[in-house]
A and B are shown apart, each in its own frame.
Chain A
Amino acid sequence: MTTEQPIIETKEATIQFNDLIAVDGVNFTMKEGEAIGVIGPNGAGKTSFFNLLTGLFFPTGGKIFFSGKDITTVPPHKRVAMGIVRTFQLVSVFDSLPVVDNLILSTNRISPDHESRGAFFFGDAHRQNKVEQCMDALKLMGIENKAHLMTSELSYGDKRKLELAVALSLNPKILLLDEPFAGLSDMEIGEVSQIIREVKKKFSFVIIEHKISHIIDLVQRLCVMHEGKLIAEGPPAEVLCNAIVREVYWGKEEGLTCSV
């Protein structure tokens, strides 16, 4: 295999809900180590596209490959084991658990280099070394002092950070972030994007975001979706000058100009 093998690739990926085609014949490839931003208006099919990549839904047409392997109908938990990790548009952490417990499952997965079956079922979830692993993940996000609060007591921004901590502790090969900045204050957006900048060298990642300015210096490539179709892709500067893109997407965000 060559190094040019895409880490993830879709061929004519399509998903149809009743009459609505949410993702329409998308051909997408991504090289290892790449950072890609996905933009597009509400309802364009961005989240649905993530759902196909991660296996929440299986496509009604087309194929999906991970490192050359056909994963079109591989269930989500197996994709996570392969290294495909995601976050959700609506923040999804476990409100009924203490903050630190949100990380126990991602740091305790049963596998040769993680945990034996016996320890998973009978071992104390809060053994010292386990909790330390969880604390390290929280430290990275700067919320380790909240480890013993109930998750429901966290602010929205801290929940976002916790969700990112969980995703990172799953050792992603490719990380898919669905609007991680939604609902955050400008200061929090700064903090979170700084963290992403620091860790992103370790894996490939795709980020969905509404405001292009938030991601323009995080990603090397932009993909624009509109009505289920991938209508443009390329380096951010080029995409911003694309006439079709400007038509469907522009006028909505101030201060972004085509600088060619």
Chain B
Amino acid sequence: MDIFKTGAGRNLLDLAIIAAGFLVLLPVLGINRTTDFIIFCVFVLGFNLLYGFMGRLSFGHMLYLGTGAYAVTLFSEHVSQNPLLAIMAGIAAGALIGVIIGPIIVRTTGACFALINLAFDQVGYFLVLVAFSKYTGGEDGMSVYFSKMGVIDFGQKPIMFGFALLCLILTYYLLKKFTTSPYGILIKSIKENETRVKFLGYNTFIYKWITFIISTSVAAFAGALSILNYGYVTPSFIDPSRAVEVIFAALIGGSGSLYGAIIGGVIYMAISNYLASYISRWEMFLGIALLICVFRFRSGIWGFVAGKLKIREAA
């Protein structure tokens, strides 16, 4: 087991645990749902970098998910149907929107930060639904087509599942690197006391901007994967009223940890998928679950379990 004590070994072990976890869920949930869950977890990871690690809560993260979704759509419609290129375009669009609106957004904190994200999302929603409906299909949305790449056909569910899992693992690995580096300590320090960080010689504005861009890019990545999975885009991918989903997931899991984000993503999806089919007003139970988390498990479900097992995550 000594290999797992080294940094690289620890990382490999983490990745194996995540992969094994979703392979176990596969027979329980079925392949379509598991793929959905995985993609949602990518989204939660991106959101949580900003919220859990840097302490900036966004009410408008659907905008960045939607940016990825619509960028993939437009790319496949007008440029190329190569799925990998389309996903790259989705991520690039997410990064670009982060670069452009980041400087305005990261100047703010607290409620203002949350709401300014929401405001931008509302603008984006309007653009997709009304102003550019000629290109986006408006309320009806539109089908998106991707070409096969040799034997790789993302229309085949097992391939899509494997690819989504690979993407989640890749995202986890990159964020793990980021959050255990000096940069990771920097953003956690900004969460606690930004002024103090300035007096350690750091231009906090730049680092907040960078973090925002990483977060919007990962969210857009999740949006792009969703379209690859569904083959169809609708305005629900950019709908501001769905912002609570990712917030709930992050809170349930425990906000300052990567494992927590994934566990929160799975628990949220399980509640919203299964409770909904048994109980029509399932949101109430979600609310109760959240209240329990907020009051009983302050550091989220994962934080609670990790504390009990005395696992101290390096991140």
What is the interface of chain A, defined by CB distance below 8 A to chain B? 54, 56, 75-78, 80-81, 85-86, 88, 92, 94-97, 101, 104-106, 108-109, 115, 119-126, 130, 166, 170
Contacts and interface: CB of A to CB of B under 8 A. Distances in A.
Contact of B193 (A76, A77, A94, A130): A94
A127 to B, nearest CB: 9
Contacts of A119: 181-182
Contact of A80 (B7, B178, B182, B201): B201
A95 B192 CA distance: 8
29 contacts: A76-B199, A77-B198, A80-B200, A80-B201, A86-B199, A92-B193, A92-B196, A94-B188, A94-B196, A97-B185, A97-B189, A105-B182, A105-B185, A105-B200, A106-B201, A109-B201, A109-B202, A115-B182, A120-B182, A121-B181, A121-B183, A122-B178, A122-B181, A125-B180, A125-B182, A125-B184, A126-B314, A130-B182, A170-B200
B196 A77 contact: no
A104 B192 contact: no
Contacts of B178: 121-122
A212 B212 CA distance: 48
Contact of A97 (B181, B188, B202): B188
A94 B177 CA distance: 21
B189 A170 contact: no
Nearest to A93: B196
A130 B178 CA distance: 17
B280 interface: no
Given A101-B185, A120-B181, A96 B201 contact: no
A170 B181 contact: no
A112 B184 CA distance: 21
Contacts of A85: 199
B156 interface: no
Shortest 3 CB-CB contacts between residues of A and residues of B: A80-B201, A108-B182, A76-B198
A125 B187 CA distance: 13
Contacts of B181: 119-125
Contacts of A124: 7, 180-181
A106 B200 CA distance: 6
Interface string B196-222: 111111111000000000000000000
B108 interface: no
Chain B interface SS verdict (over half): helix
Contacts of A78: 203
Nearest to A148: B312
Contacts of A76: 198-199
B188 A120 contact: no
A131 to B, nearest CB: 12
Contacts of A126: 180, 314
B241 interface: no
B186 interface: yes
A138 to B, nearest CB: 16
B236 interface: no
B203 A75 contact: yes
A245 B192 CA distance: 40
Contacts of B200: 77, 80, 105-106, 109, 166, 170
Contacts of B191: 96
Interface in B234-260: none
Contact of B202 (A56, A105, A122, A130): A105
A97 B192 CA distance: 9
B147 interface: no
Contact of A105 (B197, B203, B314): B197
Nearest to B177: A122
Contacts of B195: 56
Nearest to A120: B182
A56 B194 CA distance: 12
A97 B178 CA distance: 16
A120 B7 contact: no
Question: Which of B7, B181, B191, B203 has the most C-beta atoms of chain A within 10 angstroms of its own C-beta?
Answer: B181
A124 B197 CA distance: 20
A115 B180 CA distance: 16
Contacts of B198: 75-77, 80
A81 B177 CA distance: 27
Contacts of A92: 193, 196
Contacts of B180: 124-126
Interface string B84-117: 0000000000000000000000000000000000
Given A81-B201, A122-B181, A124-B180, 9 more contacts: A77-B200, A80-B198, A88-B196, A94-B189, A94-B193, A96-B188, A105-B197, A120-B182, A121-B183
